[in-house]
Amino acid sequence: MFETFKKPDQSDWIRQVTKELGDKPLESIYWQLNDDLSIAPLFTLEDLAETTAPISRREPGNSWEIGEAFLFTDPATTNREALEGLSGGAEALLFQFRRQPKAEDLNGLFKDIELAYISTHFDLSFPGKDPAACYRTVREWLSANGKAGKGIRGSIDFDPLLDWSEPPLEEAAGLIKRAHAEEPGISVLQVNARIFHTGTAGLPRELALTVAKGLEYMARLTDLGLSPETVNAQMQFSIAVGTSYFGEIAKIRALRLLWGRILENYSLDPGLMPPVVAHFSLESLEEDPLQNMIRAATQAMSAVIGGVDRLYIPPANAGVPEPPTPFTRRVARNVHHILKMESFLDRVADPGAGSYYIEKLTDTLAESAWSQLQEIERAGGFMVFDELV
């Protein structure tokens, strides 16, 4: 049968599409990503410069942690909410503090929670926050409860280039050195790139700024005596995922490729990518919870097909100033379960690999971002460039 029918090539497709378009040019159906980049509606093997292997990760497959965020109110209430999330399948608990955590907070917060089976994360959002003090409090609690050095995993949000007018890089270097020696599973350096997200047209610039910020940390902290391996091991990228389905898939894949190139320049294994943590972009949340509920599926698919390591899906009513409900939390967790247990997206290494369209879009974003990254570096690096703009 395969010999009976002629195998169409790209010219056959273009000829048929041109016929259907009539007077309209072929370029009229291109996707105009921004003023400089346009994406054709059809790609074949001939469009790829070379075939590439799936983008490698530290772990086999494409698994990601099911994240759930909790605003800390009081230890008992937040502990109850966290236990409910864990019973519903959450694997990565993010506690959002609006004041400095204390030892007595952790006593109630971690009641009946087996930290060895999950990852635990701290987001400090208040004036005068002290991530180093937070780490000391967590470390002291682990020691007092016989859990220190037991492979506890998690992170503390410490992004000196974001939250301080005078970045405390020496303090960050000391904290990284201590955490890497005492609790290597707890990362204390976050490259928060969510503020760079400006929508589909800005994807290349978002990537360039994200990598430039990570590179700035590598350069500054190695100058302070840390090894590139230590800095990379203590780092995590926090990104925003918008509503551009294919664009976000390609963005995350491109980020892995770009950071892999940075690691190669430091003579490190390009597969040692720090964790990529994804949150939904704020502008993607509507006031209508039903719309958010439906949209969450495609945004989550973008994140996991792209290859994130941890994903936080907000409750469907997060677009309005009201607390989440047990129902909206459960629905958000269930999106993860559907993508894992029904769609099996966690079982395929790099699900986007082999799609000519996604591969080409990934390469296009990576090339554009790399060009912009070089401009940033020529200007003096992220810190200088950020001040200039």
List CB contacts of 389: < 8 A, sequence separation 6 or more. Answer: none
At 387 the pLDDT is: 64
Do β-strands 153-156 and 186-187 pair in parallel, antiparallel, or remain unpaired? parallel
Residue ranges, the chain, pLDDT below 70: 1-2, 49-52, 387-389
Query: 98 in helix, strand or coil?
Result: coil
Asked whether 156 and 138 are in contact (CB, 8 A), the reply is: yes
The partner residues of 94 in beta bridges, in order of sequence, read 69, 121
- Specify whether the backbone of 242 is left (phi greater than 0), alpha (psi in -120 to 50) or beta: beta
pLDDT the model gives residue 49: 65
* Closest CA relative to residue 68, chosen from 332, 296, 323: 332
For every residue of 251-318, DSSP letters joined together read: HHHHHHHHHHHHHHHTT--TT-PPPEEEEE-GGG--S-HHHHHHHHHHHHHHHHHHT-SEEEPPPTTT
3-state SS assignment for residue 239: strand
Angle, helices 131-144 vs 169-182, to 10°: value is: 20
Q: Which domains, ranges and CATH numbers included, belong to the chain?
A: 59-388 (3.20.20.240)
Encoded amino acid at 281, one letter: S
pLDDT of the residue at 297? 96
CA 178, CA 201: separation in Å to the nearest integer?
41
**How much is the pLDDT for 51?**
60
Predicted pLDDT of residue 37:
86
Whole-number Cα distances in Å, 13 to 6, 19, 28, 358: 13, 10, 16, 19
Give residue 385's pLDDT. 83
Beta pairing class for 65-71 and 92-97? parallel
Helices (DSSP H) in 198-239: which residue ranges? Answer: 203-223, 228-233
- Distance from first CA to last CA of the chain, Å, rounded? 61
CA-closest candidate to residue 275, choices 230, 239, 235, 217: 235
The per-residue DSSP string of 322-368 comes to: S---HHHHHHHHHHHHIIIIIT-TTSSSSTTTT-HHHHHHHHHHHHH
